[in-house]
C-alpha cells in the first residue's frame, strides 16, 4: 500500500495549489482546513502562522526547482538545450493550469511579510545565477550570441518567461506561451555557418 503523506506535506501541497491559482492573499487557513478536513488548530501546530507557511512553501519550491535544474544539467550538455529545458519547466507548470509560485508571490510582493520577500528575491537571484552560467557557457562554446552582460540577459529570460505565463493565463493559451518562449530563446542561438557552395559548374 502507498504510504500516506504526512499532514505537514498535505498542508504544503494544498497551500501551493491555492497560491498558484489564487495568490497568497487569496486564501486563508479556512480554505486548507476545509480541503483537508483538519482543524485550524492542527494547521497552527505545523505552521504557527500563514507567514511561516509561506516561507516553508517557497523553501520547498526553490529546492524542487534547484533539483530540476540539476536534472537539466545532467541531461543536456550544450547551452541552447539547457535554456530550452529551462523554459520547459515553466511550460509544465502552465500546462497544469498553475503559475510559477514565486511569480505569483512577486505580484503580491509589497504585501508579503519581510522574510517571505527575502526568499522570493533569493529564488529569482538563484535562477539568474544559473542562467548566467549557461549563457557564459554558450558564449564560450560559440552556441549563443547576445549583447550586454550575461547577468542582464539572464534577467531578461526570467522576466520574459514569467511575463509570458501571466499573459497566457487568462486566455488559457499554452501554445502562445510556447511561441513567446521559442522566439525569446531563438534570438540567443548563434546561427550555424552556411555550408560553402562549390564553385565548380
**What dotted CATH number matches 51-186?**
1.10.357.10
What integer pLDDT is reported at residue 131 of this predicted model? 98
As a whole number, the mean pLDDT across the chain is 91
* H helical segments located in 76-111: 79-95, 101-107
Dihedral sign (CA 132, 135, 137, 140): negative
- Res. 201: pLDDT tops 50: no
Q: Please compute the mean of the pLDDT values over residues 72-97 and round it to a whole number.
A: 96
Q: Please compute the mean of the pLDDT values over residues 88-115 and round it to a whole number.
A: 95
Separation of alpha carbons 166 and 177, rounded Å: 9
Q: Please compute the mean of the pLDDT values over residues 159-186 and round it to a whole number.
A: 95
What integer pLDDT is reported at residue 195 of this predicted model? 44
Q: How confident is the model at residue 2 (pLDDT cuts 50, 70, 90)?
A: very low
Amino acid at each position: 500500500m502507498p504510504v500516506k503523506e504526512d499532514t505537514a506535506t498535505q498542508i504544503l501541497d494544498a497551500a501551493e495549489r491555492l497560491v498558484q491559482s489564487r495568490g497568497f492573499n487569496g486564501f486563508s487557513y479556512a480554505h486548507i482546513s476545509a480541503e483537508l478536513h483538519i482543524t485550524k488548530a492542527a494547521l497552527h501546530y505545523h505552521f504557527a502562522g500563514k507567514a511561516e507557511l509561506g516561507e516553508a512553501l517557497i523553501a520547498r519550491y526553490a529546492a524542487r526547482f534547484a533539483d530540476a535544474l540539476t536534472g537539466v544539467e545532467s541531461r543536456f550538455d550544450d547551452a541552447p538545450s539547457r535554456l530550452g529545458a529551462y523554459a520547459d519547466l515553466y511550460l509544465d507548470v502552465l500546462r497544469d493550469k498553475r503559475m510559477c509560485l514565486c511569480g505569483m508571490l512577486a505580484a503580491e510582493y509589497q504585501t508579503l511579510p519581510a522574510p517571505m520577500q527575502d526568499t522570493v528575491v533569493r529564488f529569482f537571484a538563484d535562477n539568474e545565477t544559473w542562467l548566467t552560467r549557461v549563457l557564459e557557457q554558450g558564449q564560450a562554446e560559440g552556441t549563443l550570441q547576445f549583447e550586454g552582460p550575461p547577468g542582464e540577459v539572464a534577467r531578461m529570460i526570467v522576466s520574459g518567461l514569467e511575463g509570458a505565463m501571466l499573459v497566457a493565463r487568462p486566455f488559457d493559451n499554452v501554445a502562445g506561451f510556447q511561441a513567446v518562449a521559442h522566439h525569446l530563446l531563438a534570438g540567443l542561438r548563434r546561427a550555424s555557418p552556411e555550408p560553402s557552395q562549390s564553385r565548380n559548374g
